[in-house]
Amino acid sequence: MKKKNLLSLTLALVLGANILTACSVSEAGSGDSTAAGTNNVRSDYKYGKIDIPGKDGALCGAPIYVAFENGYFADEGFDVNLISADFETRKIGLNNGTIPIVNGDFQFFPSIENGIDVKVVDGLHEGCIKFAVRPDSDISTVDDLKGKKIGVDEIGGTPHQVASLWLENAGISADPSDGEVTFLPYSDGNLEFEALANGEIDVAALWDPLGSIHEKAGDVKIIFDLGKDPYFADHFCCFLYASTKVLNDDPEEVAALLRAYRRAQEWIYENPEKAVDLIVDGNYASIEDKELAAELIKSYGFPSAAEHNDSWDGHVEADVKYFVDGLAKIGYLKSDPEQFAKDIYQKVEVKK
C-alpha cells in the first residue's frame, strides 16, 4: 500500500495543537488534587511530590485513579499531584522531567517522531474507541464507508488514526485527496452525536464511554469496537510513556511508578466493580451507569498479576512494533519502522 503523503502532511500540521493521553484528554477543568487515603498520612516520600496528568475524565485511565486513591503511588515513594495538562504542558514536562510519566495511545508515535522526548515503557490496556451510526443506517461494515462522512474529535487524533487503519486495511483510501471518505472534526463528543443525529455525518468515531452510553440508550448502533475488531483486538491501544530525562537520570523512579501502575491494573482485574465505585463516586470519569462502566472496565483487558510475567515486556514491545508498522504503512510515520520501533521502546526492570 502506498504512503499517503498528504495524510502525513495533515497530521504534521495538527500535532502541535493537541495530543491525547489517558486515551482522551478533556479541556474541561484544571488544577490539582492532593492524594487521598494513604497519601494523606505519609511523610516519607522517597521521590517527593510529582505531577501526573490524570484529570481527564477517561474511564480507561482507571489505573491512575486506583493507584492514587489506594495509595500505591505513596507506597512507592511518590506524593502524587493529579493535574489537567494540555499538549504543551505535557510536552514541556516530559522533556524537562517535571512530568515523569503519562499514559497515551499510539497517537504518540508520530509525536515522538516529531521531537517529544519520551519512551514507551509499558502497556496499559486494550480498546476504548467505538464507531456509531444511526439506528436506521444501512451502514454495517467497513466496506459500506466509501463515500461517507466520518466524525472524529480531531484530524490526526486517535479515532481518526484508528478509522484510517480500518479503512486502509479494507482497501479504502483514508487520504482526503482521493475523495473516498471525508473526515469532519468535532471538539466535543456531544456535538458529534448531534451531527450524527441530524445527518451531517454518517459515522461518529468516539472515545468510550459516550458510544456505549448512547448504544445502551438505543440512540445508535455500533459498527466498530476497538477491543473486538480482528486487527486491533488483543493489542494495547494505550501505553505508558516515560520522560527520557527521568529514565536517564533515575531509572528506578520509573520502575517504582510502573510497580504502582501494575499493582493498580491487577487490583482492577480482581475488583472491577470496586474500581467502578471508586471512579464514579470520585467523579474521575463522566459516566453514572455503574453496570455499564463495569462492563467497559472488564473489556479493556487490564492484566492480572499472573500476566505480569517474564513474557510481559515482549508483549508490549511486539505491540509497539505492530502499530508502528501499521501507521508507517498508511503514511503517518516517515521513519524506518524497524528502527523506529526499537528506538521508542525501552525495557525497564520493574521488580525490586
Write out pLDDT tens, residues 49-64: 999 998 777 788 899 9
Domain end residue (candidates: 225, 251, 269): 225
pLDDT at 3: 40
Percent of the chain with pLDDT over 90: 67
Domain assignment present for residue 328? The answer is: yes
Q: How many CB atoms lie within 10 A of CB 179?
A: 10
Pairwise CA distance, residues 307 & 312, whole Å:
7
Domain assignment present for residue 164? The answer is: yes
- Same domain for 26 and 64, yes or no, is yes
pLDDT at 24: 40
Domain end residue (candidates: 203, 225, 247): 225
* Number of domains into which the chain is organized: 2
Per-residue pLDDT, averaged over 95-113, amounts to 90
Q: How many residues are given for the chain?
A: 352
34: CATH? 3.40.190.10
Per-residue pLDDT, averaged over 68-96, amounts to 90
More confident residue, 70 or 157: 70
Domain assignment present for residue 7? The answer is: no
Pairwise CA distance, residues 151 & 153, whole Å:
7
Burial class from Cβ neighbours inside 10 Å (0-12, 13-18, 19+) for residue 143 reads exposed
Per-residue pLDDT, averaged over 107-121, amounts to 90
Over residues 211-230, the pLDDT tens digits come to: 899 999 999 999 999 999 99
Over residues 130-145, the pLDDT tens digits come to: 999 999 999 999 999 9
* Domain, as residue range, for 199: 129-225
Over residues 224-267, the pLDDT tens digits come to: 999 999 999 999 989 999 999 999 999 999 999 999 999 999 99
* pLDDT above 80 for 277: yes
Please answer whether residues 299 and 320 qualify as being in contact, where contact means their C-beta atoms are separated by less than 8 angstroms: no
- Same domain for 196 and 167, yes or no, is yes
- Same domain for 271 and 244, yes or no, is yes
pLDDT at 125: 92
- Same domain for 241 and 338, yes or no, is yes
- Same domain for 209 and 330, yes or no, is no
- Same domain for 164 and 32, yes or no, is no
Domain assignment present for residue 106? The answer is: yes
- Same domain for 120 and 240, yes or no, is yes
